[in-house]
Amino acid sequence: MNSLVILISGRGSNMQALLEAGIPKDRITVISNNPEAEGIGFAKKCNVETIILDHRSYPDREIFDRALAEKIDACQPKLIALAGFMRILSDSFVQRYQGRLMNIHPSLLPAFPGLKTHARALQEGIKIHGCTVHFVTPRLDHGPIVIQAAIPVLPHDTEASLAARVLLQEHRIYPQAVQWFMEDRIRLDGNRVEVMACVTHDAAVYSPGLSE
């Protein structure tokens, strides 16, 4: 079935970007492990089917993941998109959906996997930061990369200002990656992703800018 399952835990701003991307709402299901997730309310307002599966009701991660997989399989999704899903998934779950499980990460992977990416970027003094859409593999934040967006780190950036500007790019590239997948334009070959019929530019990005 040409449908999409979105997994969230909180406000779901990337979920909102996906819901506004033009995919028919009757082909989308939003699942949250958090009964109080703000994103659930937004999904309901969009008339999208929602499911709540509280992870605290399960004795361990493996049992929760099996229950989650049952809910997902009932939807017969073409793709499962993680959109702020704050649970580390078991290897067996990830392998079950290999090549159909996508995530958005707030750094230019493989740099800064894990949490607190913006604070770490500022601490390291890097000049270019960004976000990455990638396929999920058992190794955290190291799956095949679909698309990335880069922004300059400005001299007076704070963690909050940098995060806000990166989030704008997340909202641009995640719907694009999902659209490519749903249109069968993504070919996965080992750790490399090819997007078919996609224009690639060779322009460089500089930060700070070069002197004229």
Last residue of a domain, one of 38, 64, 97: 97
pLDDT tens digits in sequence order for the chain, 212 residues long:
689 999 999 999 999 999 999 888 999 999 999 999 999 999 999 999 999 999 999 999 999 999 999 999 999 999 999 999 999 899 999 999 999 999 999 999 999 999 999 999 999 999 999 999 999 999 999 999 999 999 999 999 999 999 999 999 999 999 999 999 999 999 999 899 999 977 777 777 788 887 77
Last residue of a domain, one of 61, 78, 97: 97
Q: What is the pTM of this model?
A: 0.94
Predicted local distance difference test score (pLDDT) of residue 44: 96
Last residue of a domain, one of 65, 97, 129: 97
* Domain membership flag for residue 212: no
65 and 13 in a common domain = yes
What whole-number distance in Å separates Cα of residue 68 and Cα of residue 5?
11
79 and 8 in a common domain = yes
What whole-number distance in Å separates Cα of residue 201 and Cα of residue 209?
19
130 and 87 in a common domain = no
CATH number, position 5 = 3.40.50.170
- What does the block give as tokens for 205? 């990005």
120 and 90 in a common domain = no
* Domain membership flag for residue 84: yes
* Domain membership flag for residue 210: no
* Domain membership flag for residue 211: no
Q: List, by residue number, the catalytic residues.
A: 105
Predicted local distance difference test score (pLDDT) of residue 1: 60
184 and 113 in a common domain = yes
133 near 122, Cβ under 8 Å?
A: no
* Domain membership flag for residue 129: yes
Predicted local distance difference test score (pLDDT) of residue 206: 80
Predicted local distance difference test score (pLDDT) of residue 80: 98
Domain count, the chain: 2
**Domain ranges, residue 112:** 104-205
152 and 93 in a common domain = no
71 and 49 in a common domain = yes
Tell me phi and psi for residue 150, to 5 degrees.
-120, 145
125 near 180, Cβ under 8 Å?
A: no
